[in-house]
Structure 1
């Protein structure tokens, strides 16, 4: 193996390659000194010494096997992690740790599952399929599983797609160091908010017929079958009349099956070619001119799509089609009504979404559950002839529920959640004793607090007969008030009431500033402010301060 120069830009934590070690040993055998060699190639002298010492025990100067860092989990914990992931495919990392009773990082869990060929990805989406819809799709596939390539070429595929400016762009990959991730030259900017979108000829049945009149006569030939999905514009009366009038034979298409249309895979190529044809279209303003440019770019991009791409769409051999049909035909399809539910009042299933508030019908032998109050009310009215009355305003009770389903039709089952207070739970003798002790402590604390408020009420009830107190009209103002609450609110703050203590200091400081400001007033004005009678000046302005009760107030 040819030797080459050592890269001095390698990270300090990386070990030398076998070629680099051979280079060092070769230079040492030529008589170079370790210090001089270390300085010339940019590595520590200790690395040179270590390479020389271990050269006799290394095979081809490769590193020896290392034991490595000890595992932070046992074999039993590893099995629990794998079982949890296989049993609950949607389980989160936190729930895996709880199920396996381990305290390890998410990266370690990912490595364990990867070792067992279990990977993590975002769930694929597809249209909601009922049992009847799935059966129609399967029957359609079985009837055409043995079609030849010539038979598939006689199908004229069709579809509609709206294009929004900014959609369909490929992600931009960047080469750089982690510290450059947020630098300006390494960032791809995109617009926010609603963008300009284009769908040629709109969405109505009339515009669809116009497209058929323009395109079908040029490409449709006798013996071909025209494919269109079950959108409203395709099943409209005007569309049917046009196809019958021109003798266009259509192929029956299963409902909710856009994934079976091969032309769906062409739209992503079309959207990407738009930016190849017109690169500057992304940066224009939102006006009619840019909309027209986008329409032109779409037409040009469509012409740039190669015929090889259309030929490859949906190209699959009869053998492969048969294997796919047989694989999915083995699965048992069930409607939500046919799926057995767990018994009520069990613990929530961790792999599902958390329990939600729901309403359970109170009729005997009726297990109808809904999360919508209007729906449960409508059920009680129609199924049990219930009508709202003052004494029977709700014919249901609140419960916690979960569901296995995520589509439009859902069935819920009742679970026992810790925060659910609507379900009666039997208490043991020990629990009853604890509850009784808590109630006694609460009653004693409440009685003690009531006594304190009564004492405070007696203090507040004392009437100050001085002129100033009568002038403020406090006796009349407080006559119809709850003096207990006033006494509680006006009490000095306790030690643990830090915020009230700070508020009291701020109020005291404000009062001191206000009183200090009064010194700038005229003497007669200050004496008049201290007087109990508005028309007379108090001859003894400092007398009020000699009353301890007035000072406390």
Structure 2
């Protein structure tokens, strides 16, 4: 049966470790002397209140509300969940409003809709490395505050790449959606940290080690962040060719920058992707397209200015929970942007 009571922090760490080793839930429960259900609840919801098992009588919406949602999706298939929730709650002035979570759940369970997303192909070796990375950084909250997270993104005149962000019926698209582009585009690089926004810079269409290093120097993120973290800090970047080039590594060594050992094919672990997602929804709101690159660039800069430091910090506080999910899912993709 296993002991009762809330899990201790030591037990939680042990359970994550056994899960990362590939042990079954029943084996973990035996080692921890806990019930299988208690272990499963913790792995499914590591930050949940002890004893919470969910709402067994979750609300649904039907009839006119479903029709309004269908009409909204036909007109704007990339509609944010907030807009769909407003459609559901139209005419419900005398009743309790339906929450976004209820709408999201009904979209998936009753209407068979889900977001089309880009997922990186993950081999068994990739997944093991992702779990190892997550385990190495789990619960090191103070260290998380010393990280500069960065990423590049391409914005197109005619909208986001491919289908990502679009609501589709289950079965209409494969789980792994490949990107395709058309028309003109512009590339930007972003840096964020526990302080909030740090930099947003336009980059050349083709990023080389030379222009990447030049951009890092001009960004002054190291100088700014180093002033508030004299004890040391870490720079997060993915494994793009320009990032992994010998010239870039020499620059890091010369300047004394410490690069995080980032696992391959892991954009879903990078909180910058969430900021890109917020910006994309605002830039392409209402399926907007742009006539020129200068118009698109101006909108990108304006949207970046509208992002608050509080928004960025709230995303970064959730990074530890994302690492938990990576371990729990045995290295599989954890985030839908």
TM-score of the two chains, using structure 2 as the length reference: 0.47
Higher RCO (Cα < 8 Å, 6 or more apart): 2
Which of the pair has more CA radius of gyration? Answer: 1
- TM-score when scaled to structure 1? 0.30
Q: Write 1 or 2 for the structure with the bigger share of strand.
A: 2
